Structure 1
């Protein structure tokens, strides 16, 4: 356990000598102390856990694994990384409590976090100048606040990308989504992708709402089946059903399968975060009901060698935490967010004071940050912002297209990564 007692002058001298020798030897041990080389950089990661709706324990688990890995390598510019975590509980009060905890703990950033309650957590962070780096992208505030630095296009590009993916093969599309504030923008975003591609076949999607915490999706399943008739088994006039319900997506498609008619075969689809490799494995692998599903994501497929550094860190530093699934989009987003934080901190001088406002200023002014090819190079300078009225902080509109084949999420043949910025620029602002 770190010794937090006040260091005497002799103690500081001994610590400084030990640190110099340790860094020269590459041992990676960082003594505590009050000198610049012994400072601790405190950040927070929050996400909902153990709730009745969407849970993202992999984000918190990855954050702690990154902390251990970083400190084992000598920290960042000689400073120990301290990651505090918080259960956001999927409630506005929980999100606000986590933000206030970040303030109370003197966190210099909130990194790789998830919440559907942007208004609740952004206000406390903004009041103290604390940057929000790499959120999951499910709230408008993440793409509007001047202190938010998103690493992906969040829900907007996933839904627009799903529209592009489905528009190529569907005559009719039914969207099943949560009846929440975050869910209200989904139909507009999906339609933006459906309408943006001249080769698309489908018009607007049918909007089917479901209570976020319901366990009975039979009414929605029947409505989706009626809206996506699947007229032609050859696929020429095929209906499609996409569900974006987080962890409830599995429950919906189970009801959908039981309510189905063997004579009708709608194409099913979703987005990463609602469908994952772990879900496919758990529901039968090759025999999973998700076999053949179309899936839109932000990043390269999880089997891409670009993910190997993250997999190695998870293997060596997650200490058996099964929530840290390298195939999970929450785990992946946290990894990328912490990569950004680390790269930005490395650009500061070793003895320079680290503050929340200084990190935010660096992010707004610095040259692009590299993420090892997992995203386009990221930059939040004014000239890098996209011309999307509702999402002015968006700097990465890229999506990838995947399909479930033989029980594995693989790249969809013939579909390259695509920037959905153009589609979102033409879309009406969500109400």
Structure 2
């Protein structure tokens, strides 16, 4: 579902003083400058994610209302990459020029372009949505979740735990989608489960019946690596075809509003979540929901706004724990690289950034997901465990 924030123009937006509700003000003084880079608007692919920005805004507003970090107010600069690699690069250059302390909660398809620039300015990227290889390997990258790669691997492992012998795999027809076969195979490594041939589904496919028939005939379980629009159409077509195989998807592909629309077509579907699902409760989710209600009441409650909110909380927890006084990019980066068992609530496992990891996932500090299932139209955890995903 498209949702655009009124007053957001394409390109760079620097908010001025007086916006105390959102926590944004003109930069300067004793404040701490942060930047969000993301797909706020996207006319090319119709997949904007303004919710991530809303989560960032809500967390900043809440922290500022409580006195900021070590007495300093958080000031937010927002950059819309508009689903364009060139614009994403310009956003990153802006972050370096502005000498921001860090970027937080970035939600962009162009992490490689962004991180290449941030590296030159020693600017940390905290809690970005990890999609590209650079998101897991850049020396300034601090993902707080396993991302789509980990969720796909986790989904395959989940199906293996349900005694699936052969998993039919369908994904969006894109460079990122084509990687899902690799991730799924990583997830079933060490089990007796096999992953079938990958079926790529174009974004503009007019009918899903043929794809459903191909995928469901190739295994006794189905894994979908798709966005929510595609996943919804695929699940509806499966339901109409009477296909009975268990299905696993990522939490972003089957958000609560889509579950409600699909009704019985969503029932019983397995879900992997890189953050504790909102429906599972917990102290962090309670605070996240309260902050959104107070500061961003009209945004969607989903994994994207969760991720944006969490990124700011992680920054605040790290800077407080490390007792940072000078919030220069270099000092923030050094603090982020020295974390040992940092607790950022119960939305994710504790964060340690000092451990040495092997390429290509050498910044995959949190390599776990939660397993859930749709029961009576709600997402319910299978258990309270965090399950490993990609082999490291």
User: What TM-score do the two structures reach when normalised by structure 2?
Assistant: 0.86
Q: Which of 234, 238, 245 is matched with 1:266 structurally?
A: 245
- 2:182 matches 1:188: yes
Q: In structure 2, what is the equivalent of residue 239 of structure 1?
A: 220
**Residues 182-331 of structure 1 mapped to structure 2, 5 A cutoff:** 182-197=176-191, 200=192, 202-211=193-202, 214-216=203-205, 218=207, 221-229=209-217, 239-253=220-234, 256-257=237-238, 260-262=240-242, 264-281=243-260, 283-284=261-262, 287-303=263-279, 304-306=281-283, 307-318=285-296, 320-323=297-300, 325=301, 328-331=302-305
1:376–1:396 contact (8 Å) kept in structure 2: yes
**Aligned mates of 2:340, 2:211 — CA distance in 1:** 49
- 2:316 matches 1:342: yes
- 2:51 matches 1:58: yes
1:186 deviates by 1.2
1:298 deviates by 1.3
**Aligned mates of 2:241, 2:146 — CA distance in 1:** 36
**Aligned mates of 1:124, 1:71 — CA distance in 2:** 29
Q: Which of 59, 65, 72 is matched with 1:72 structurally?
A: 65
**Aligned mates of 2:59, 2:340 — CA distance in 1:** 24
Q: Secondary structure at the match of 1:292?
A: coil
Count of aligned residue pairs for this structure pair: 368
Q: In structure 1, what is the equivalent of residue 12 of structure 2?
A: none
2:54–2:308 contact (8 Å) kept in structure 1: no
- 2:27 matches 1:41: no
1:222–1:256 contact (8 Å) kept in structure 2: no
Using a 3 Å threshold, how does the CA distance of structure 1 residues 402 and 224 change in structure 2: closer, same or farther?
same
1:131–1:148 contact (8 Å) kept in structure 2: yes
Q: CA RMSD in A?
A: 2.6
Q: Secondary structure at the match of 1:155?
A: helix
1:135 deviates by 1.1
- 2:387 matches 1:418: yes
Larger-gyration structure (1/2): 1
1:93 deviates by 1.6
Which whole-Å deviations, capped at 9, do the CAs of 1:357-390 have from their partners, x for residues lacking one?
1100111123332111222210211xx2334x31
Which whole-Å deviations, capped at 9, do the CAs of 1:193-216 have from their partners, x for residues lacking one?
12333xx4x3123211133xx232
Structure 2: gaps of 5 or more residues:
1-15
Structure 1: gaps of 5 or more residues:
4-28, 231-237, 426-431
Q: Secondary structure at the match of 1:76?
A: coil
Q: In structure 2, what is the equivalent of residue 386 of structure 1?
A: 357
1:166 deviates by 1.3
Using a 3 Å threshold, how does the CA distance of structure 1 residues 90 and 33 change in structure 2: closer, same or farther?
closer
**Aligned mates of 1:367, 1:254 — CA distance in 2:** 42
1:248 deviates by 2.7
**Aligned mates of 1:122, 1:354 — CA distance in 2:** 20
1:288 deviates by 4.0
1:164–1:196 contact (8 Å) kept in structure 2: no
1:412 deviates by 2.1
2:232–2:254 contact (8 Å) kept in structure 1: no
Q: In structure 1, what is the equivalent of residue 144 of structure 2?
A: 151
User: What TM-score do the two structures reach when normalised by structure 1?
Assistant: 0.78
1:340 deviates by 1.3
Q: Secondary structure at the match of 2:379?
A: strand
